[in-house]
Structure 1
Amino acid sequence: MKITSVETVQVPPFYNLCWVRLHTDEGLTGLGETFRNAAAVAAYTHDVLAPLLLGRDPMAINGLVSDMRNRLDNRFQGFPTRSIELQSVSAVDIALWDLLGKALGQPLYQLLGGACRDRIPVYNTCVRPGRDSVARRLMHYAPGAEGTTNVQGGRGGIAGDNLEEPGELAEELLAEGFTAMKYSPFDAYADKTRGYDISLSDLKDGIKSVEKIRKAVGARIDIYVDYHTRWQLPGALKIAAALNDFDVAWHEDAVQMHNMGDLQTFREHVRGHVVGAEAYATVDWLREMLPRRALDIVMFDTGWIGGVSETRDIAALCRSFGRPFSPHDATGPIVLLAGIHQAIASPAALKQEVVRTFLKGYYRDLVTELPRMENGHIQPPESAGLGTELQPALFERQGVQCRVSAVNA
């Protein structure tokens, strides 16, 4: 089997998503995905990676990934973090593993050593309606994006999590089987000081929602706080100290995650788990971070940090250091599925992030099959590879951008 063409797909209004499809001479196609800077990722995929991939055996994944990461003059050689180059490699790598599963007639988790469990617990990342929602980031750099498709609700979806009434939201999530909820109560205040400090007034304002959750449901739900790396150490420590009274279980990306010493100091002074880092968690970064004991839980995004090949190695590294991992989701359905397959196959997996607003909403418009979520757990499809394909209707949308690099084209 040989790779005969490399295709990138961008679909309005989801201009921050880039899909990669690898086509073969045997009629099989592998599907990968990444998020952010999609146009640049597509350009790098065609201009740099496609010449390396075309005509090669897609089942020789280790060799292809090694070549993409090491042999190219235009490869990324900086700090081990999310980059255009690494995003492109990630999407291609996911597609290679999807293709291998289809060729062998096996779901992805079987290729990773088989199932350690049949489902994985989930927590919900709460997305509020409106301009400040995560959903709007999907439409960045989209010509005429204002007023386009409701990317939150989508087909049969919900309008978003009502963070204006966090106590009611916690009750709603518990009724659906969730035992943990994540949100970002302090993001709105970070820019005032560039993350160096937070005023007492803003701190108390941010704390109000946490107080309402605890008052409404007590200890029945775990509260996870995402700092989104917006804070420097002094500001992050001030927030964490205020959260101690509410038994916050999870502090995610609390500081600039390349500042390893700051993360160590944060770990020494905070209660609850320290979690990171969706944009940094390459094996290279974790090789430096885990021996420092600065992380309690490793989070990775399969579409940013190297693909399935990298998450497979990260899972093994987590086991070596006695640290669990939790795959990231807030971008697209392919990355979600890749994370679930890795979690099913690894004893070090703790939980899978989901954004129910997306999973019940626009994800349905993008792919043919989605993972099954029930009673606070999720499981992947049982069909070969990742277990899904892009919806055919996507290719009929006005403005769809498909670019193909082919053998002898």
Structure 2
Amino acid sequence: MKLQDLDVIITAPPAPGWGGRYWILVKVTTDTGIVGWGECYASSVGPDAMTYVIQDLFQRYFLGENPENMERLFRRAYSSGFTQRPDLTVMGAFSGLEIACWDILGKDRDRPIYALIGGKMNDRLRAYTYLYPLPHHNLDAFWSSAEMAADCASVMVDKGYTAIKFDPAGPYTMRGGHMPSMRDISQSVAFCRAIRDAVGNRADLLFGTHGQFSTAGAIRLGTALESFSPLWFEEPIPPDNVREMAKIARRITTPIATGERLTTKAEFAEVLRQGAANILQPALGRAGGIWEMKKLAAIAEVHNAQIAPHLYAGPIEWAANIQFGISIPNCLLVESIETDFHYDLIKHSLKVEGGFIEAPTKSGLGIEVDEILARANPFTGTGLHLEMQDKPCDYETEKFLLKDRH
């Protein structure tokens, strides 16, 4: 069996677009007619340029190769252009193609992917959800409203979720870490208090940030949140400074989680080596794929750390996260996005029920992709999947906002 054809589909989830502006789906076909699906998570270049990267990687290293040769495929891509070091764009392209290869192998053997990478360790996975606006919420007001967040949290917990994530702590700026304003801290405390009051001890609180703080600022904010006992404080500073993140981990009692912007075991291993986090959040469509993250899970075991696969992408990456999570002993949580488009794109072949995801039984990724739906929703914009704020934090305006709130 040899890899023969590649098709890249850029699909855009309908507004409001939970999961990003677009998803990069790859369809790989073998000379025996088996089709495998993968997803490349985000990228630092636009989707048209990323398509060329994926095609180049496929033609150089995957075309004509046996999809069983996962280790060889990884070493080829990882070493591409005399690099042999983590490269976010190349490994993002590789990850989607690698996931497709596993889908092919599972279908060829009529087994779920987890059966090929160690078997079923878990019968089900605990899911968590980000707090998205409910239909009756004002979309613009929601993100700064502790009351709306608490309302949403109650609904999600009533559905069975035992962990919920939110990130009210201010802007993400390209300038790197900043010191949170008192408004940022006060609003973060208000969110934690309102949500904890609403759900009691029925759910863990996952406090999200996106690398927006300085080291001192993260310690200041993290200390203010400790009384609410969050399960984690996510990526408190930019992810490129592991040593500084370790300082935060030593100063606050809340566990540090990080990883959505990291790629390969090399970057994650340094996080563990420095003691910067003990909850790792790989995005399988970026981090090197399923096999590379199986290696990471083993490394994490040695450090008594846990894995919580990240999802701000489409349902194909989600399916890969689930197959991976079912196979490892240290899977803490799996992120999920419950929208009609997510479910429709895989014809409801996977779902969250009562806050948990049962181990899939179908072959490969365990999903059926609605290719017609994917192609019927092309991306027509110009932005990237995610973008950071260009302007600096405006503390003067924030002071007036704080004054107005009181």
Instruction: Give the TM-score normalised by structure 1.
Output: 0.83
- Please report how far the alpha carbon of residue 2 of structure 1 lies from its aligned counterpart in structure 2 after TM superposition: 1.4
CA distance in 2, matches of 1:335, 1:399: 18
User: CA separation of 1:314/1:242 partners in 2, compared to 1, >3 Å: closer, same or farther?
Assistant: same
Q: Does 1:374 align with 2:353?
A: yes
Check the 8 A contact 1:18/1:35 in 2, yes or no: yes
Check the 8 A contact 2:170/2:180 in 1, yes or no: no
- Name the structure 2 match of 1:184: 167
1:375-390 to 2 correspondences below 5 Å? 375-390=354-369
CA distance in 2, matches of 1:207, 1:181: 16
Match of 2:120 among 115, 118, 132: 115
User: CA separation of 1:272/1:400 partners in 2, compared to 1, >3 Å: closer, same or farther?
Assistant: closer
Residue 308 of structure 2 aligns to a residue in which SS? strand
CA distance in 2, matches of 1:120, 1:395: 27
- Name the structure 2 match of 1:278: 260
Match of 2:299 among 304, 314, 317: 317
CA distance in 1, matches of 2:378, 2:342: 19
Structure 1 runs of 4+ aligned residues shifted over 3 Å read: 12-15, 75-78, 128-133, 159-164, 190-195, 398-401
- Name the structure 2 match of 1:206: 188
RMSD (CA atoms): 2.7
CA distance in 2, matches of 1:351, 1:292: 23
Match of 1:305 among 261, 284, 287: 287
Q: Does 1:17 align with 2:17?
A: no
CA distance in 1, matches of 2:151, 2:159: 13
Check the 8 A contact 1:113/1:345 in 2, yes or no: yes
Q: Does 1:8 align with 2:14?
A: no
Unpaired stretches in structure 1, ≥5 consecutive residues: 134-158, 402-409
User: CA separation of 1:6/1:194 partners in 2, compared to 1, >3 Å: closer, same or farther?
Assistant: closer
CA distance in 1, matches of 2:160, 2:330: 22
CA distance in 1, matches of 2:131, 2:287: 24
Q: Does 1:397 align with 2:376?
A: yes
CA distance in 2, matches of 1:289, 1:61: 25
Q: Does 1:170 align with 2:153?
A: yes
Q: Does 1:236 align with 2:211?
A: no
CA distance in 2, matches of 1:343, 1:181: 18
- Name the structure 2 match of 1:124: 129
CA distance in 2, matches of 1:254, 1:296: 14
CA distance in 2, matches of 1:13, 1:128: 16
User: CA separation of 1:128/1:76 partners in 2, compared to 1, >3 Å: closer, same or farther?
Assistant: farther
CA distance in 2, matches of 1:202, 1:324: 29
Check the 8 A contact 1:170/1:217 in 2, yes or no: yes
Residue 200 of structure 2 aligns to a residue in which SS? helix
CA distance in 1, matches of 2:60, 2:231: 47
Match of 1:34 among 21, 40, 46: 40
Check the 8 A contact 1:275/1:297 in 2, yes or no: yes
CA distance in 1, matches of 2:58, 2:175: 41
User: CA separation of 1:57/1:216 partners in 2, compared to 1, >3 Å: closer, same or farther?
Assistant: closer
Amino acid at match of 1:246: F
CA distance in 2, matches of 1:109, 1:161: 40
Deviations 1:303-358 (A, max 9, x none): 011111211111111112211111111211011111111111111111111123x3
- Please report how far the alpha carbon of residue 132 of structure 1 lies from its aligned counterpart in structure 2 after TM superposition: 7.1
Check the 8 A contact 1:41/1:85 in 2, yes or no: no
Amino acid at match of 2:63: L
1:45-84 to 2 correspondences below 5 Å? 45-70=54-79, 72-73=80-81, 80=86, 83-84=88-89
Amino acid at match of 2:25: W
- Name the structure 2 match of 1:259: 241
> Identity rate of aligned residues, in percent?
26
- Name the structure 1 match of 2:100: 95
Check the 8 A contact 1:163/1:169 in 2, yes or no: no
Residue 387 of structure 1 aligns to a residue in which SS? coil
- Name the structure 2 match of 1:407: none
Check the 8 A contact 1:109/1:115 in 2, yes or no: yes
- Please report how far the alpha carbon of residue 161 of structure 1 lies from its aligned counterpart in structure 2 after TM superposition: 12
Q: Does 1:351 align with 2:370?
A: no
